[in-house]
């Protein structure tokens, strides 16, 4: 039973990692928390439901959903986050934080108005299991883990080994210096934001693939877990976000095993408090994407 | 002849505080010009104004192109390399990465040659190429700050207090490199420097900035021999 729960924890951590990496990437580069981040996942998932419901084939539906989600994400960036960059000090942090909470609420309530405040069946679900020895592995969650691992490995290569990644790291470490080095920092921020939104979009769809259902308010628990994973790993660190996600996935699974599923989040927050007590800046102490 | 840089009636301010008032200066192609002044005179603000890093009014032209509405990265790409006070490096990038970033605006084929040229100017950086910049000494960081700008082949170099916080022996290295750029490369320079001795030795012409206003312009030789300048800025 314990090993089965540990397997479940590892599998679930893939989706958490995608959300956490997006959060940490935006915080590392822009210095703000985008509280609407996980809602991009919901938008992508319900957009696929809407497209498939309208008779669009699955693959084109994914493309349409990605475009719709990216457009919405860019509107959120332009209206909720970008204005804060005109300010310095607390206003530069607080203004986008509050504005993005508002943007998230608009997206959630907007989806609830359009699709109803209910769980929606995701058309591209994978609900079967396969055996690994004596243990059951969810096909959907296994796919999620593989997709997450591939995307995050690709992101690591992009950030650490390409010219674009060098510019991203430069902007994250010193935006003024990047600008005077000829880097169009607004363009880099926008591209990084789009990448993080795509990661959230994929994560939202993987929730649908793995669990079969999505809902207008589904993003709230994923936003919390993504944020906790980011903080546990060390804000601004991409590897830290992945390690954080793995830790909270395991903590959640162990809590379910020992205390029951009603208390699954207790383990998540216990890990958060423990890490904050021992290493207040997180496991990977960084404040900028590297 | 079109000036490399022309500044007319430029005022730089931070909110209600005016740091530079109605400044006017020119830098001819291939000329090295100094701006000397005491701490807080507005020297750094003048350069920040040129780079559009501070709010400014007035007219600024670079090789005939007006800069007023351009963002800093566009000004850099137009050919103005800016070495800010405090270096403003990327602490977690290696020296090699800093130099590669600086070379983004020149053709890929020219980059190895440019890298060799920069390493020739600052041999210490070749040894430190794989090291992240936060672990370098102050002098090495200053070399990186200048070298990464040179990698982009600027036609005008703006230097803000390159001697600040450096030991005299390191200042010698940095200013020898700048002198080589001035004489061998005929690179235009606008040098802002509290160390008037160094600035007047390097440049051919200088402006004196006092509490935000340019009060004097003359050849460096004349200024060096002026008792008032000697007393105020050269310490004797």
pLDDT of amino acid B3: 80
CB-CB neighbors (< 8 A) of A180 in chain B: 51, 53, 72-73, 76, 82, 84, 88
Compute the C-alpha angle A157/A163/A165, nearest 5°: 50
Q: Is residue B101 in some structural domain? A: yes
Cβ contact (<8 Å) for A173 and B53? Answer: no
Q: Is residue B175 in some structural domain? A: no
Q: Is residue B172 in some structural domain? A: no
Q: Is residue B3 in some structural domain? A: yes
Residue at token pair 């296994």: A142
pLDDT of amino acid A1: 77
DSSP for B133-153 reads GGGS-HHHHHHHHHHHHHTT-
pLDDT of amino acid B165: 85
Residue A230 backbone phi and psi in degrees, to 5: -65, -45
| Distance (Å) from the alpha carbon of A64 to chain B's nearest alpha carbon | 34
Q: Is residue B50 in some structural domain? A: yes
Write the pLDDT tens digit of every residue in A195-251.
999 999 999 999 999 999 999 999 999 999 999 999 999 998 999 999 999 999 999
pLDDT of amino acid A55: 95
Name the β-bridge partners of B213: B210
- Percent of chain A past pLDDT 70, that is, above it, reads 98
Could you tell me if B61 and B126 lie in one domain?
Answer: no
Could you tell me if B28 and B93 lie in one domain?
Answer: no
| Distance (Å) from the alpha carbon of B52 to chain A's nearest alpha carbon | 10
Could you tell me if B72 and B163 lie in one domain?
Answer: yes
pLDDT of amino acid B84: 95
DSSP for B224-236 reads HH-HHHIIIII--
A83 secondary structure, DSSP code: G
- Percent of chain A past pLDDT 90, that is, above it, reads 88
Could you tell me if B17 and B109 lie in one domain?
Answer: no
Print the domain residue range for B74: 1-79+154-167+182-236
Could you tell me if B62 and B32 lie in one domain?
Answer: yes
> What sign does the dihedral A135-A137-A142-A143 (CA atoms) show?
positive
Q: Is residue B177 in some structural domain? A: no
- For testing the chain B interface, which of A180, A185, A288 should be mutated: the one with the most B CBs within 10 Å? A180
Chain center to CA of A89: 26
Residue A180 has pLDDT above 90, yes or no: yes
Could you tell me if B97 and B160 lie in one domain?
Answer: no
Write the pLDDT tens digit of every residue in B69-86.
899 999 999 999 999 998
Could you tell me if B52 and B41 lie in one domain?
Answer: yes
| Distance (Å) from the alpha carbon of B72 to chain A's nearest alpha carbon | 6
Cβ-in-10-Å burial (0-12, 13-18, 19+) of B22 comes to middle
Nearest residue in chain A measured CA to CA from B48:
A180
pLDDT of amino acid B234: 79
pLDDT of amino acid A118: 93
pLDDT of amino acid A286: 57
Could you tell me if B28 and B65 lie in one domain?
Answer: yes
Cβ contact (<8 Å) for B92 and A183? Answer: no
Could you tell me if B146 and B162 lie in one domain?
Answer: no
Chain B residues in contact with chain A using a Cβ-Cβ cutoff of 8 Å:
51, 53, 71-73, 76-77, 82, 84, 88-93, 97, 100-102, 104-105, 148-149, 152
Q: Is residue B176 in some structural domain? A: no
- Across the interface, which of B76, B89, B97 has its CB nearest the CB of A166? B97
Spatial strand order in the sheet of B5-14: B17-27, B5-14, B55-62, B65-66
Whole-angstrom distance, CA of residue A170 vs CA of residue A150: 25
Could you tell me if B6 and B71 lie in one domain?
Answer: yes
Could you tell me if B74 and B161 lie in one domain?
Answer: yes
Q: How confident is the model at residue A289 (pLDDT cuts 50, 70, 90)?
A: low
B194 secondary structure, DSSP code: S
Write the pLDDT tens digit of every residue in A81-125.
999 888 888 888 899 999 999 999 999 999 999 999 999 999 999
A89 Cβ under 8 Å from any chain B Cβ: no
Name the β-bridge partners of B12: B20, B56
Left if phi > 0, otherwise alpha if psi is -120 to 50, otherwise beta: which for A282? left
For residue A218, give the nearest of A44, A31, A4 by alpha carbon: A44
H or E segment and range at residue B20: strand B17-27
Could you tell me if B189 and B124 lie in one domain?
Answer: no
Domains of chain A by start residue, with CATH: 2-278 (1.10.3470)
Under 8 Å CB pairs connecting chains A and B tally to 65
ipTM of the complex: 0.90
| Distance (Å) from the alpha carbon of B236 to chain A's nearest alpha carbon | 37
Q: Is residue B51 in some structural domain? A: yes
A117 Cβ under 8 Å from any chain B Cβ: no
CB-CB neighbors (< 8 A) of A178 in chain B: 73, 90
- Across the interface, which of B72, B100, B104 has its CB nearest the CB of A180? B72
Q: How confident is the model at residue A290 (pLDDT cuts 50, 70, 90)?
A: low
Residues with pLDDT less than 70, chain B: 1, 236
Write the pLDDT tens digit of every residue in A137-172.
999 999 999 999 999 999 999 999 999 999 999 999
The residues, any chain, with a CB within 8 Å of residue A63's CB and separated by 6 or more, are none
For residue A16, give the nearest of A194, A252, A286 by alpha carbon: A252
pLDDT of amino acid B143: 94
CATH number at residue B14: 3.40.50.300
Overall domain count for chain B: 2
């Amino acid at each position: 039973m314990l090993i089965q729960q540990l397997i479940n924890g590892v599998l679930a951590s893939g989706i958490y990692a995608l959300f956490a990496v997006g959060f940490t990437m935006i915080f590392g580069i822009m210095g703000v928390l985008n509280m609407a981040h996980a809602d991009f996942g919901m938008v992508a998932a319900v957009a696929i439901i809407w497209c498939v419901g309208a008779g669009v084939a699955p693959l084109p539906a994914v493309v349409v959903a990605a475009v719709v989600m990216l457009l919405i994400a860019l509107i959120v960036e332009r209206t909720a986050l970008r204005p804060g960059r005109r300010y310095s000090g607390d206003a530069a942090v607080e203004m986008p934080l509050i504005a993005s909470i508002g943007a998230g609420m608009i997206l959630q309530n907007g989806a609830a108005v359009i699709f109803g405040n209910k769980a929606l069946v995701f058309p591209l679900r994978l609900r079967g299991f396969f055996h690994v020895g004596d243990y059951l592995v969810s096909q959907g969650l296994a796919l999620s883990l593989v997709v997450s691992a591939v995307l995050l490995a690709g992101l690591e290569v992009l950030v650490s080994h390409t010219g674009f990644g060098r510019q991203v790291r430069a902007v994250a470490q010193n935006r003024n210096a990047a600008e005077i080095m000829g880097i169009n920092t607004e363009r880099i921020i926008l591209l990084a934001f789009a990448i993080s939104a795509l990661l959230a979009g994929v994560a939202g769809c993987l929730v649908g693939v793995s669990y079969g259902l999505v809902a207008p308010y589904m993003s709230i628990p994923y936003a919390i877990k993504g944020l906790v994973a980011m903080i546990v790993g060390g804000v601004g660190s991409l590897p830290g976000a992945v390690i954080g996600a793995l830790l909270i996935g395991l903590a959640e699974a162990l809590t379910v095993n020992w205390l029951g599923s009603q208390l699954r989040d207790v383990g998540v927050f216990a890990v958060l408090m423990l890490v904050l007590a021992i290493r207040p800046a997180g496991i990977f102490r960084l404040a900028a994407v590297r | 002849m079109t000036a490399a840089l022309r500044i007319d009636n430029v005022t730089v301010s931070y909110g209600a505080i005016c740091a530079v008032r109605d400044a006017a200066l020119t830098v001819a192609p291939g000329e090295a010009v100094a701006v000397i002044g005491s701490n807080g005179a507005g020297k750094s603000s003048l350069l920040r104004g040129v780079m559009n890093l501070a709010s400014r009014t007035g007219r600024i032209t670079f090789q005939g192109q007006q800069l007023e509405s351009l963002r800093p990265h566009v000004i850099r790409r137009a050919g103005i390399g800016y070495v800010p006070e405090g270096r403003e490096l990327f602490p977690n990038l290696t020296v090699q990465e800093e130099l590669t970033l600086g070379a983004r605006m020149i053709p890929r084929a020219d980059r190895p040659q440019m890298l060799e040229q920069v390493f020739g100017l600052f041999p210490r950086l070749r040894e430190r190429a794989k090291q992240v910049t936060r672990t370098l000494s102050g002098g090495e960081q200053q070399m990186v700050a200048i070298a990464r700008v040179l990698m982009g082949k600027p036609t005008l170099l703006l230097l803000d207090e390159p001697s600040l916080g450096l030991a005299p022996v390191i200042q010698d290295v940095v200013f020898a490199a700048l002198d080589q750029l001035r004489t061998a490369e005929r690179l235009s320079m606008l040098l802002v420097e509290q160390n008037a001795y160094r600035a007047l030795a390097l440049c051919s012409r200088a402006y004196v900035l006092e509490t935000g206003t340019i009060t004097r312009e003359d050849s460096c030789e004349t200024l060096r021999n002026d008792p008032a300048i000697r007393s105020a800025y050269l310490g004797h």
